[in-house]
Amino acid sequence: DIEGSVLELCKLFPDFLEPDAVVRRQEALAAARLRMQEELNAQAERYKEKQRQLEEERRRQKIAMWESMQEGKSYKGNLKLNQQEVESGASASAVPKSKPNKKPLRGGGHLSSCIYGLCTYFLSF
C-alpha cells in the first residue's frame, strides 16, 4: 500500500518529506541542468565556428579554381600547385609531363572489340 511505501522512504531518507530538503534538491537539480546547458551551448558554438572555417576554406578553394580556369589552367590539381607556389615563393609556371609510350591493352584488330566471341557469330551470316 502507499502509506507503507511512504513510511519506508521516510525511514531510508529521513529528509524525504522535509520542505527545506526538497527545495535544496530542486535547486541542485536546476544548477546541474544549467551547467549541462552551458556546456552544450559551448560545444555548439565550437562546432559552428569550425563549420564556418570549413565553409570559408571551401569558398577560397572555389575562388582559386575559378581564377585558374579563367587563366586557362587546368582546375585539377591547381590547389596543390597554388599551395606549392605560396610555400616556395616561386612564380614559375608548371611544365606538363609527357606520357610514356604504352602498349594498348588489346590488339588493334577488328575482333578485339568483340565480347565473348559474339562478333564471330554475327560474321558467320
The reported pLDDT for the residue numbered 62 is 94
Show Cβ contacts of residue 120 under 8 Å, excluding neighbours closer than 6 positions: 111, 114
The reply to whether 106 falls in a domain is no
pLDDT surpassing 80 at residue 41: yes
pLDDT digits (tens, 9 = 90+) for 25-36: 899 999 999 999
Residue with grid cell 511505501, as numbered in its chain = 5
Is residue 104 in a domain? no
Residue 120 lies in a domain: no
Q: Which domain holds residue 68?
A: 2-96
Domain total for the chain? 1
Q: Tell me whether residue 117 is in a domain.
A: no
Would 118 be classed as within a structural domain?
Answer: no
| Whole-prediction pTM | 0.42
Of residues 49 and 8, which shows the higher confidence score?
49
pLDDT tens, residue by residue, 66-120: 998 888 876 565 555 555 655 565 444 555 566 667 665 655 555 555 555 555 5
How far does Cα 114 stand from its chain's mean position?
A: 44
